[in-house]
Amino acid sequence: MLAYRNSTKIVGDILEFTEQTGQQGINTTSLLAKANLSHTRLSKFMKNLTGAGLIATKEIDKKNAFVITQKGRQYLESYQKFSDIAESFGLEL
């Protein structure tokens, strides 16, 4: 059974999946599958992440793809450090 993920964990997952694809980006379908979210829920997260400047939309082969920005990488790095510290104290995000 999958554990419940809060919004912070979902944002971390989305940024991580987006970073893994590099500058080629990740399309919505792939991100839906990897993030295990409904289209409606993913759309809300992507609107917030692009609005915050953590993810950018890029057109590749006439299709939209998402790429992580430098600001997004900085956020992800800080999130991962905090997650590691919390885990070392036996806490789960």
Write the pLDDT tens digit of every residue in 50-65: 999 999 999 877 888 9
For 23-58, how does the pLDDT look when each residue is reduced to its tens digit (9 = 90+)? 889 999 999 999 999 999 999 999 999 999 999 999
**pTM reported for the whole predicted model:** 0.90
Secondary-structure percent of the chain, ordered helix, strand, coil, rounded to 5? 60, 15, 25
Question: Cα angle vertex 34, ends 25, 63, to 5°?
Answer: 35
Contact yes or no for 47/56 (Cβ under 8 A): no
What is the CATH code of the structural domain delimited by 8-88? 1.10.10.10
Q: Which of 22, 48, 24, 44 is nearest to 32 (CA)?
A: 44
Report in angstroms the alpha-carbon separations of 44 from 1, 38, 69, 73, 83: 25, 10, 18, 20, 23
